[in-house]
Structure 1
Amino acid sequence: MSVTEMFSYIQAFLSADQEIREDIRKVVQVLEQTAREILTLLQSVHQPSGFKEIPSKCAKAKELFCTVRMHFGELKNKFPVEQYYRFHEHWRFVLQRLAFLAAFVVYLESASLVTRDEVAQILGIEVVREKGFHLDVEDYLAGVLIMASELSRLAVNSVTAGDYGRPLRISNFINELDSGFRLLSLKNDPLRKRYDGLKYDVKKIEEVVYDLSIRGLTKEQEAGGDK
């Protein structure tokens, strides 16, 4: 093979690679738009009247996740299965954001932590790497940590809305979550930095609970619950 032929071959490879990346970017842009729609929908739960709308907002979010599954179906066909991590950076951010949104919906509905398998099912992707387009463990954990920040905000807004019991439940949940993360040895730098933010979320929620306690509002909430 001559030098000219060699570089012509390389150019053909680069062009094909660029075409794949462009196709991936187009689908990712649509996924990002859908993620923004879901986030905008769920942001209403932070409003004073939003707690009453949680069931309807979660139902609408689930409808939008149907669109997400469709687009992930398109995305997984844009590149060879074995090259997942070669193109991973293109969809890493939106995948983590969608994992957070799925986790947030599950928490709002059941006050429980979504599993990695459940997130993958909601998004219409795999869990096992060998099966193709999958939810990486670190992307799942990043989504859970984003949810923790959202819950710290929800705890503050719950007080504004006069719901004094919710911050207590959020506090218990976040403390359990923090205990779980302490069991992990995180080697991923971005994930470890995001985990550092969980410590501030725990502190923020504890301050809310403390403020409620010294004002006697937690006792009022417990008395109201007993009645």
Structure 2
Amino acid sequence: MTSDITSGFAAVATALEHEGQLRERLRLQRDELDVAVRSLETQLSRLHYEVDWSDAVAGARQQLRTIGSGFLELQSLVPEGMFYKYNDLWRQCSIHIVQSCLLIRFFETVHAPGPQFSDNLDQSQANDSVETCTAALVTKDEVLEMLDGEKAPTQPALRLDLEEYLLGLCGGIQELARLAANRVVLGDYATPRKLAFFCNQVYAGFRLLNFRNDSLRRSYDALKYAIQRLDSILYDLRIRKLS
């Protein structure tokens, strides 16, 4: 009887050791992914101080492919059926990836078919730019497609938790609100109007959801302050007859 109990605990000790080793491998891979994600965010930070954002967005899109490979390698270490046991380890990486994808998708679609940025954009063009704003909100599936790139048929699919996706959207909207002020500093008065229109549409969509998760509720509550900042920027532009 004693030997059976001892052998039972020995098996548990072995299982715990294997789990600890797996967690350590996941942390190491997560740390490498985190470096790549920070590099992506550094690339996108150029949107705040460069008038022409095409190079920044194109470079960020290319970096997503590298991040996708690292993300897939990380998730491939997880045993089947254990995704939700370990995904907290890379949760923040996932959220920041979604946030970056939102920015990339916005700037890839915001000027179609609206007028391109111009220092000489007149009042009628500025008004029309909002009406013709077709900036698209990146979906959960599109985030995975942007990461996958040219995925081989035998390659396992990436996974993204719905909560991580929604938290990433909240973070992305707050980043767009910060970006609006910096675009004004650059003399770009049309883009903040489009940012405000887009963010208000996303905020309206969030209001349809009933959040029972504390972290999602807090992030959602923070969105209204981002919308207020955008409204304040538009108000300042209007009273100065710049928009």
TM-score under structure 1 normalisation? 0.89
Deviations 1:59-86 (A, max 9, x none): 1112211111111221122121200000
Specify the code of the residue in structure 2 equivalent to 1:115. T
**Correspondence for 2:105:** 106
Q: What is the aligned residue count?
A: 211
1:215 aligns with 2:217: no
Distance in 1, Cα, partners of 2:76 & 2:197: 42
Specify the code of the residue in structure 1 equivalent to 2:79. P
**Correspondence for 1:73:** 72
The 8 Å contact of residues 72 and 158 in structure 2, kept in 1 or not, is answered as no
Q: Give the CA deviation at 1:200.
A: 0.2
Q: Identify unmatched segments of 5+ residues in structure 2.
A: 111-135
Distance in 2, Cα, partners of 1:192 & 1:120: 24
Moved more, 74-83 or 207-216: 74-83
**Correspondence for 1:51:** 51
Secondary structure of 1:217's counterpart equals: coil
TM-score under structure 2 normalisation? 0.83
Distance in 2, Cα, partners of 1:24 & 1:160: 42
Q: Identify unmatched segments of 5+ residues in structure 1.
A: 219-227
**Correspondence for 1:11:** 13
Distance in 1, Cα, partners of 2:221 & 2:195: 18
Structure richer in helix, relative to its length: 1
User: Judging changes above 3 Å, is the alpha-carbon distance between structure 1 residues 61 and 132 closer, same or farther for their aligned structure 2 residues?
Assistant: closer
Distance in 2, Cα, partners of 1:168 & 1:35: 29
Q: Give the CA deviation at 1:193.
A: 0.4
Deviations 1:121-159 (A, max 9, x none): 112399xxxx86511111111111111011101110111
Secondary structure of 1:2's counterpart equals: helix
Counterparts of residues 124-139 of structure 1 (less than 5 Å): 124=148, 133-139=158-164
Distance in 1, Cα, partners of 2:147 & 2:5: 47
Secondary structure of 1:69's counterpart equals: helix
Distance in 2, Cα, partners of 1:156 & 1:69: 31
Counterparts of residues 185-224 of structure 1 (less than 5 Å): 185-218=210-243
Larger RCO (alpha carbons 8 Å, 6+ apart): 2
Identity over aligned pairs, percent: 32
Distance in 1, Cα, partners of 2:88 & 2:200: 31
Q: Give the CA deviation at 1:3.
A: 2.5
The 8 Å contact of residues 144 and 158 in structure 2, kept in 1 or not, is answered as no
Distance in 2, Cα, partners of 1:46 & 1:14: 47
Specify the code of the residue in structure 2 equivalent to 1:71. G
Q: Give the CA deviation at 1:4.
A: 1.8
Specify the code of the residue in structure 1 equivalent to 2:141. D
